[in-house]
Amino acid sequence: MGKKFDVIVIGAGPAGYVAAIRCAQLGLKTACVDKWIHNDKHCLGGTCLNAGCIPSKALLESSHLYAAAQKNFSEHGVSVSGVKLDLAQMMARKDKVVADLNQGISALFKSHKITTFTGHGRLLKDKKIEVSALDSEMKEILEAENIILAPGSSPIDIKAAPINGDSIVDSSGALCFTQVPKRLGVIGAGVIGLELGSVWRRLGSEVILLEAQESFLPIADAQISAEAYKQFSKQGLDIRLNARVVHCEVKKSGVMIEYENPQGKQREQVDKLIVAVGRRANTDQLFSDDTGLLLDEWGVVHVDEQCRTNLPGVYAIGDAVKGPMLAHKGSEEGVMVAEVIAGQAGRVNYEAIPSVIYTDPEIAWVGSTEDHLKELGREYTVGVFPFAASGRARAAGETGGMVKVLADAKSDRVLGVHMLGSHVSELIAAAGIAMEFSASSEDIAMTMFAHPTLSEALHEAAMAVEGRAIHMARPPKR
């Protein structure tokens, strides 16, 4: 007979560890099975904390300061000389940020009396979990009334560019370079490719991004994507669209990339190559075949609106289920499932999931894009306000970008908000709150915003929906 719990969570990423904590808060005896090992030590937090969101943001922040010291301080009357890059120290700081947060989650688990099992967790029949040790053949069986599957995701490999951990790396490897590559190639100009490319461009690399799609950032609003493309290109990011990589050859001098575009076959040599073409759910070896757990053709676990699988008492959350692979989405699903298990009315509003790309300027949005509304045949109105007209943005020297509000043409309910600019990763939360409360653009327009702040751009964009933005010239009459 295995050890018994009320809830067992497989995975300790942002979905799994949050689910475990919320379950414990609700009085449920909770266990969490996780296999992330770094330097022979078990580390909670999953990909996001250990090799994704957190370390990448630490490097983005450090690289931003380095670039600012080189190029922007003089504009503010601050003269500096002899600015040098200490990449080892930058990486050490990144590692410390991660380690501190690892310890924080461990402390949270301890304070909530969550039992942790280190190893590979696999779902068996009758709500049993097999835990396989990572350093031996030992196995242990656990039992629970409720199981939460939160296995996370892994980078997608492509045959044309096999990862070797040295000259060709995935997103994790790109966070661990010991030298700044002179020429860096990135396959994929999506969220991960742009963020990693931005880090190394700021630190001195010549960066070439090869994107197979014909359009740039189709997941974002088209107007925002077009402006972002212009700004990133000005920064020196060489973004090549409609470029499909067909072969890569590792040489002593670097990596030779062969790709095809409308002009034919092309070749480019780089020192390092990052493969950032997306991620796939970690559902391989997650369950035994006799459980009957249903997956779709992409290996994603089939769930209902409250993340119930087809198996009674078994839930799946985070990157393993439908929807965007975002840490905060997984965390909210973890909270919802914990509350459902405890008999409460858990809920996630999938219509108001914010998305952020941590480039400079940042890109953020929540809700529908114009293209999506057009596909739905829904009538809408638009309000746009540029940061160039913002006093706070001018004072900070961060005038690129805009805020865009989309509202229903009849009800005026906000349907989507899209931002490009400095600190919009923070500003988008206000738009998310507005949408959560079914606010109209007039509601935002009637709300008083502090002056001078960047958030005033949201206020003005909402007023622009009705053509009454204050700090923007009235368009000429036709």
Q: Which residues are annotated as catalytic?
A: 451
Matching residue, tokens 């020429």:
183
Matching residue, tokens 């970008």:
401
- Decide: helix, strand or coil at residue 400: coil
Matching residue, tokens 């951990």:
165
Alpha carbon dihedral 110, 115, 119, 124, in 10-degree steps, equals -150
Query: DSSP readout, 308-347?
Result: B-SSTTEEE-GGGSSS---HHHHHHHHHHHHHHHTTS---
d(CA 52, CA 249): 27
Q: Quick check: bond before 476 cis, omega within 30? A: no
420 CB contacts (<8 Å, ≥6 apart)? 224, 227, 228, 231, 361, 362, 363, 400, 401, 402
DSSP strand pairing (244-251 vs 254-261): antiparallel
Give the Cα-Cα-Cα angle 447, 452, 456 (nearest 5 degrees): 40
d(CA 310, CA 301): 9
Residues constituting the chain? 478
Residue 18, CB-side half-sphere exposure with 13 Å CA sphere:
21
199 CB contacts (<8 Å, ≥6 apart)? 56, 59, 60, 63, 174
| CA-wise closest residue to 411 among 384, 383, 443, 374 | 443
183 - beta bridge partners?
206
Alpha-carbon separation of residue 67 from 73, 223, 322 (angstroms): 9, 27, 38
- 323 φψ region: left (φ > 0), alpha (ψ -120 to 50), beta (else): left
| CA-wise closest residue to 185 among 264, 262, 276 | 276
The Cα diameter of the chain in Å comes to 80
Name the CA radius of gyration of the chain, rounded. 24
The angle, 0 to 180 degrees and rounded to 10, between the axes of the packed helices 53-71 and 191-202 is 40
Beta-strand (E) ranges in 387-455?
A: 402-408, 414-421
128 CB contacts (<8 Å, ≥6 apart)? 2, 141, 142, 143
